[in-house]
Each structure stands twice: as structure tokens, then as C-alpha cells.
């Protein structure tokens, strides 16, 4: 048995089964997800890649409880999201999921320290002792705690956003193009943080990206095309990911049919 097999025998932190997501109807109908089954093993860093419009963000939003599937099922741990009401979904997102967005989404009127603890403050829970201190050291911004987001570089702001996502010890951290607005060096720092979250802190990390270099930081890359899972790659390198992406450059399935 390989190490990867061992990981797979542990219950996944998140998964979707036969996931279908249809937007609109009639002439404007789009099948953003067209029967995707995939799991996200606990403690792993998984990247989701694919051409623009292939369903990456839709998949992430549906597994993270930000959007609902048209059919099929999505799970966080063994909780099926489709069985939850709005209130329960909000609680699940708050307690078990962390988010990192391309645009950082920090609250401009709060300090760095206040932004990091905001999810805990909203939930009315106390941070685990020492965790916030540890996160501040990990992101390297101890001397900026009283600054506002506008006083930080983009890379620093995104490091704060990663700390905020980790502050509640979530089961899964979802990141949608977290390096999309960053230069390559700041991006690499954020990717290392996400890698640490998985391999050092035991979080499960799922990242959507269109950047082969970003994807190469993950343990595994999933490739989507036209709403389907078409390939997966263990221990990716930027070159191998780039080569695989080049195969998508032809006409899409929908265009080829018409
Ligand atoms: N809210 C929406 N309403 C209608 N169509 C949507 C909506 N969100 C996404 N889509 C469509 O679904 C498909 C997949 O979108 P998305 O998941 O955002 O792709 P990706 O993140 O891979 O670029 C695209 O064709 C997109 O136009
Ligand atoms: Mg997207």
C-alpha cells in the first residue's frame, strides 16, 4: 500500500457525489457541474484547475455550502449539506470552514488583529489558547497588528486573510484564486502558508487556481473541463500541470458539438 492509499482510507474531510449544478433554464441553461464525484482527503492540500468556465468556483461554492447543488450530494465530514436549513448551513460554515478569496475581503475599518479574530468574535467563541499568537508569527506580521488593511501590501493582506481563515481551527479551508491579485513572490508566501495549514496544522485545504505554479504547491491537482472531472495528478510540478492544461486549448465540448 502506498502513502496515498493510506491517506485515502481515512474519511474525507469533504466530498461531492454525482454533483450537478444547472444555472438558468431553456436557452440560457448552463450545466456548470455535470456529474462530479470527488473527495478531499483530510490533511491534504488539493488544487482544482481547469479552463475558465469549467466549473471550478461552482464546485468549491457547492462543497463549501455557499451554493446548493441541483442534484447529487455534498458533504463536509459526514454532514450532507442538502439536509441542512439556512441557519444550520451558516453555523456549519462558521464552525467548520475557512475561506480565502482572491480579493482578500478584509474589513477596512478593523485592525489586522481584529480582522484575524473577527470570525471568532462573530461566533462568540474564544480562540484556542496560543493559536492566534502562533498564526501571527506564521504570517510574520506581529509588528503590523494595529495597522488597517489599507496600510498593508496585497501579499500582507492575503496573509492576514489566511490567518483569519485558520483562526477558528476549521476542518476545511477553501481558497478561490488566492494568489490571483498577487505578484509571484507574495503569491509564493501565501501558498507556503496554505501548505503549512495542511501539512503542519492538519487542516484540509482546497484551492481553485488557474496558475500551474500555484497548483504545483498542492499534493494533488484535480482537472475540470466542461463541468466534469477529467483528470487528477499526484505530486504535481508546474511543468507537468502546464503540459496537461495545454491539452484543454482546443475547442470546448459544447463548441465542438455546434
Ligand atoms: N450565477 C450564475 N448564473 C449563471 N451562470 C453561471 C453562474 N455562475 C457560474 N455560471 C456559469 O457556470 C459555468 C461555470 O462557472 P464557474 O464555476 O465560475 O467556472 P470557473 O470558476 O471554472 O471559471 C460558466 O459557464 C459560468 O458562466
Ligand atoms: Mg472561478
Residues 66-83: tens digit of each pLDDT: 999 999 999 999 999 999
Per-residue pLDDT averaged across 149-156, rounded? 97
> In whole numbers, what is the pLDDT of the chain averaged over residues?
92
Please enumerate, as own/partner, the contacts of 19-24 that have beta carbons within 8 Å and a separation of 24 or more: 19/59, 19/62, 19/69, 19/71, 19/72, 19/73, 19/74, 20/69, 20/70, 20/71, 20/72, 21/55, 21/58, 21/62, 21/67, 21/69, 21/70, 21/227, 22/70
Q: Is the CB of 23 under 6 A from ligand 1?
A: yes
Q: Is the CB of 209 under 6 A from ligand 1?
A: no
C-alpha 237 – ligand 2 centre gap (Å): 22
Residues 204-231: tens digit of each pLDDT: 999 999 999 999 999 999 999 999 999 9
DSSP 53: T
Q: Is the CB of 57 under 6 A from ligand 1?
A: yes
Q: Is the CB of 22 under 6 A from ligand 1?
A: no
Atom 25, ligand 1: which residue's CA is nearest? 53
Name the band, by pLDDT with cuts 50, 70 and 90, for residue 258.
very low
Atom 17, ligand 1: which residue's CA is nearest? 55
**What number of other Cβ atoms are within 10 A of residue 43's Cβ?**
16
Per-residue pLDDT averaged across 99-114, rounded? 96
**Gap between the Cα atoms of 52 and 60, Å rounded:** 14
**Gap between the Cα atoms of 143 and 165, Å rounded:** 20
Per-residue pLDDT averaged across 87-93, rounded? 94
CATH 3.30.70.100 for domain 42-64+83-257, yes or no, is no
Residue 182 falls in which region: left (phi positive, over 0), alpha (psi -120 to 50) or beta: beta
Q: What percent of the chain has pLDDT over 90?
A: 88
Amino acid at each position: 500500500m502506498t502513502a496515498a492509499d493510506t491517506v485515502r482510507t481515512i474519511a474525507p474531510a469533504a466530498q461531492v457525489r454525482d454533483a450537478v449544478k444547472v444555472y438558468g433554464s431553456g436557452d440560457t441553461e448552463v450545466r456548470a457541474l455535470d456529474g462530479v464525484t470527488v473527495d478531499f482527503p483530510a490533511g491534504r492540500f488539493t488544487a482544482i484547475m481547469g479552463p475558465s468556465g469549467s466549473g471550478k468556483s461552482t464546485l468549491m461554492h457547492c462543497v463549501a455550502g455557499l451554493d446548493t447543488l441541483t442534484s447529487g450530494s455534498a458533504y463536509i465530514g459526514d454532514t450532507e449539506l442538502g439536509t441542512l436549513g439556512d441557519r444550520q448551513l451558516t453555523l456549519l460554515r462558521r464552525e467548520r470552514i475557512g475561506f480565502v478569496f482572491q480579493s482578500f475581503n478584509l474589513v477596512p475599518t478593523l485592525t489586522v488583529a481584529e480582522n484575524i479574530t473577527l470570525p471568532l468574535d462573530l461566533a462568540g467563541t474564544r480562540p484556542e489558547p496560543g493559536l492566534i499568537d502562533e498564526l501571527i508569527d506564521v504570517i510574520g506580521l506581529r509588528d503590523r497588528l494595529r495597522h488597517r488593511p489599507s496600510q498593508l501590501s496585497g501579499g500582507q493582506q492575503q496573509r492576514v486573510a489566511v490567518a483569519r481563515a485558520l483562526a477558528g481551527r476549521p476542518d476545511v479551508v477553501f481558497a478561490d484564486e488566492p494568489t490571483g491579485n498577487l505578484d509571484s513572490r507574495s503569491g509564493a508566501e501565501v501558498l507556503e502558508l496554505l501548505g503549512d495549514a495542511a501539512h503542519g496544522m492538519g487542516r484540509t485545504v482546497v484551492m481553485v487556481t488557474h496558475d500551474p505554479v500555484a497548483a504545483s504547491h498542492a499534493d494533488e491537482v484535480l482537472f475540470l473541463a466542461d463541468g466534469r472531472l477529467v483528470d487528477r495528478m499526484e505530486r504535481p510540478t508546474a511543468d507537468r500541470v502546464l503540459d496537461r492544461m495545454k491539452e484543454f486549448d482546443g475547442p470546448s465540448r459544447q463548441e465542438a458539438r455546434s
